[in-house]
Structure 1
Amino acid sequence: MSVPFISNVMEIEKGWIDYNGHLNMAYYNVLFDRCSDEALDLLGMGAAYVRDRKLTIYTAEVHVCYVRELHLDHRVTASFQLLDHDDKRLRVYQELRHVDGWLAATSEFLALHVDMSGPKVAPFPGDILAKVEAMRAAHASLPMPERAGRGIGIRRKPA
């Protein structure tokens, strides 16, 4: 397991480019989500988890920072760093990077483990929690990202 988890290389699709000539803001989330799908699959919480166990992950909150424009010919990877968890939630930080290494965007999200029979928030089963704990332990050696925990506000100069 890479620390942090790094997605496969992803390409920007033509239909994702907006009238400003760059990647539309919504599709940064698509790229982050595709990385999350890869990481969650590694943790045993992919499509088969929903189908076979009727359990899944719902996103409760997301904060995206757009750092640098992406364009049609760009190829990117995204990271998935598990910052924290409890028996029902995951806190994850992600970075979207051009294959040349520069930072395009960051995302931080809080996810809930959900029993689809409700749907209702439910604890992770023991086997899944063990995988989550193993990833968290592997990621614990990473520094807290500078951009994690950011809020939104307008900075004012003192009068």
Structure 2
Amino acid sequence: MDFNFQQTVPAAWVDYNGHMNDAEYNRAFSQATDAFIDHIGLDAAARSEFDYTIFTLETHVCYLQEMKEGQAFEITSRVLDYDEKRIHLFLSMYNADGELVATLEEMLMGIDVNEGRGARFPGNIEAVIAQLFEKDSGLGKPKQAGRTVGIKRK
């Protein structure tokens, strides 16, 4: 039941500094989030059947190493927390050498599309999320999780 998303850095994602542009890390993490949503059972057919979708409420990205054109990467997931309609998700991007290059922490909310507001996960989706959380709960908090943006003063 492990999740991973694999991709390579296309030329269009490279900026004037010769590395993957910050917006493209967000694109890669967004694509991985969509794949994760499919992975938990909310693929296009299920979203249509249940009139349900997932919105992103908040994200925080940490850029740790450069990625260059053509480099392969893999994104893995950890469920840090959840309730009946939200997922606190942490994604880690690794290069082909297995080095951590970026992370994304995000809060996702399940939405009833007919009501246009947050709603409990449909069907057995919450049970799937619970399984992932249970599997991930013993791993400890990732170093980049829970960070805030600011200048540390001495």
Shift in Å, 1:13:
1.2
Report the counterpart of residue 101 of structure 1 in structure 2.
98
Q: Residues 80-136 of structure 1: CA distance to partner in whole angstroms, max 9, x if unpaired?
A: 100000111100111111011111111100000001113111111241111111111
Q: Quick check: 1:89 aligned with 2:86?
A: yes
Q: Check the 8 A contact 2:58/2:108 in 1, yes or no.
A: yes
C-alpha separation in 2, matches of 1:28 and 1:111 = 18
For the aligned residue pairs, the C-alpha RMSD in angstroms reads 1.2
Which TM-score applies when normalising by structure 2? 0.94
C-alpha separation in 2, matches of 1:71 and 1:60 = 29
C-alpha separation in 1, matches of 2:30 and 2:37 = 10
Q: Check the 8 A contact 1:43/1:132 in 2, yes or no.
A: yes
Q: Check the 8 A contact 1:81/1:94 in 2, yes or no.
A: yes
Report the counterpart of residue 114 of structure 1 in structure 2.
111
Match of 2:31 among 4, 10, 34: 34
Instruction: Give the AA of the match of 1:6.
Output: N
Shift in Å, 1:141:
2.1
- Which stretches of structure 1, 4 residues or longer, exceed 6 Å deviation after superposition? none
C-alpha separation in 1, matches of 2:75 and 2:137 = 19
Structure 1 residues 126 and 54: alpha-carbon distance in aligned structure 2, compared to 1, 3 A threshold: closer
C-alpha separation in 1, matches of 2:70 and 2:123 = 43
C-alpha separation in 1, matches of 2:53 and 2:125 = 11
Q: Check the 8 A contact 2:93/2:100 in 1, yes or no.
A: yes
Q: Report percent identity of matched pairs.
A: 35
Alignment of structure 1 residues 1-159 onto 2, 5 Å: 1-2=1-2, 5-7=3-5, 9-157=6-154
Q: Check the 8 A contact 1:49/1:56 in 2, yes or no.
A: no
Q: Secondary structure at the match of 2:57?
A: strand
C-alpha separation in 1, matches of 2:63 and 2:43 = 27
Segments of structure 2 that go 5 or more residues without pairing to the other structure are: none
Q: Check the 8 A contact 2:11/2:70 in 1, yes or no.
A: no
